[in-house]
Amino acid sequence: MTCSACGTRNRLPFATLDKRIRCGQCKTELLPVNAPVEILSAEQFRAISTQCSLPVLVDFWAAWCGPCKMLAPELEKVATSAAGKTLVAKLNTEQVPEIATQYHIASIPNLVLLRNGQELRRLAGARPATDILRFLQSAE
């Protein structure tokens, strides 16, 4: 996370995302994560899904998928609206196929809500941000 005051890049432990965090350089309070986080490996997925103090909404997608491209700006809106309450993550099923297989992802886009490494719910297909936020609220 880049500090808006001094521009320093700060590493945020997943386990502390529900707490107030300050910049390591200037001590300015950092805003909650308000953009989707790219998951680039199975190890990173395991870390996010099991260590994150917030629920994690994972978007299983692929670059060739038209509906996935339509969903991307909606997920940006969700990440902004749910900042500090839910972490939005994106997992490219072609780059990390073992996780897609583990979660039996048969169609994309597919949104899976996780807490402490356990699947709570899923939502298939491209949806507007309002529907996704309603989905998150109904899981609370």
Instruction: Please tell me which residue in 3, 23, 52, 65 is annotated as part of the active site.
Output: 65
Nearest Cα residue to 16 out of 67, 87, 91, 93: 87
Residue-wise pLDDT tens digits, 21-80: 899 999 999 988 899 999 999 999 999 999 999 999 999 999 999 999 999 999 999 999
For the chain, the domains span: 1-31, 33-138
Residue 3 annotated to the active site = no
Tokens representing residue 71 in the block = 């969903």
For residue range 2-34, list pLDDT tens digits in order.
888 999 999 888 888 888 889 999 999 998 889
**CB 23, CB 6: distance < 8 Å:** yes
* Topology (CATH) of 33-138: Glutaredoxin (3.40.30)
- Cβ density class 76-102: b for 16+ within 10 Å, e for less: eebbebbbeebbbbbbbbeebeebbee
Residues 102-123: tens digit of each pLDDT: 999 999 999 999 999 999 999 9
Is residue 68 among the annotated active site residues? yes
